[in-house]
């Protein structure tokens, strides 16, 4: 297996050299996905390019492949296609977040090193559906237990944190 993406790189150096990275990541490489994804998933293909844009480091590229998820209704496997265009501004200073070039999403990191596989993992976690389900499923979920109870529970859990965040910022 190609391990080139499980390395910590210096984003400043990579940007000034215009470095590119190609590789694959599999189930074993992405611990944060393992609770939601079947170990039978094939490796995900990744292409990354570092560059400078003004004073910013930008990372463009593509994450391509599919994840194998479990259907919440019938518990069968779902092939979930992944095709993500990366367009990130890589910053290690929160003060710069509001200044990043338009069209780029911020990727905040600590210190001066960046773990490439972690960026891919972040993007895949974001791409996961809240509830995985076959578009055409052999089992119909009972209407009562589908959304309402679940959504209310999530709201109750989220609210206290949002209030706390508000206090911190003030």
Interface residues with Zn ion (CB under 5 A) are 71, 73-74, 134, 137
Contacts of residue 36, Cβ cutoff 8 Å, sequence gap at least 6: 69, 128, 132
Nearer to Zn ion, 30 or 132 (CB): 132
Give least dist CB 134 to Zn ion, A: 4
Distance of CA 86 to the CA centre of its chain: 10
Give least dist CB 14 to Zn ion, A: 42
Nearer to Zn ion, 85 or 140 (CB): 140
Give least dist CB 70 to Zn ion, A: 9
Q: How far apart are CA 3 and CA 22, in angstroms?
A: 10
Query: Strand pairing partners for 68?
Result: 79
Give least dist CB 71 to Zn ion, A: 3
Of 135, 147, 140, nearest to 81 by C-alpha is: 135
Nearer to Zn ion, 71 or 115 (CB): 71
Q: Are strands 20-25 and 44-53 parallel, antiparallel or unpaired?
A: antiparallel
Nearer to Zn ion, 38 or 49 (CB): 38
């Amino acid at each position: 297996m190609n391990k080139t993406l499980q390395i910590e790189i210096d984003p400043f150096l990579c940007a000034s050299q215009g470095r590119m990275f190609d590789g694959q990541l599999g189930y074993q490489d992405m611990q944060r996905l393992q609770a939601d994804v079947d170990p039978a998933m094939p490796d995900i293909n990744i292409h990354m390019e570092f560059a400078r844009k003004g004073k910013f480091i930008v990372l463009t590229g593509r994450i391509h492949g599919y994840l194998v998820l479990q259907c919440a209704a019938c518990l069968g496997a779902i092939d979930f296609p992944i095709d993500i265009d990366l367009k990130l501004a890589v910053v290690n200073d929160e003060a710069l977040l509001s200044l990043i070039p338009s069209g780029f999403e911020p990727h905040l990191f600590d210190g001066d090193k960046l773990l490439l596989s972690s960026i891919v993992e972040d993007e895949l976690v974001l791409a996961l559906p809240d509830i995985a389900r076959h578009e055409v499923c052999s089992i119909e979920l009972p209407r009562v237990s589908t959304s309402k109870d679940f959504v209310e529970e999530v709201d109750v859990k989220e609210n206290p944190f949002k209030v706390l965040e508000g206090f911190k910022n003030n």
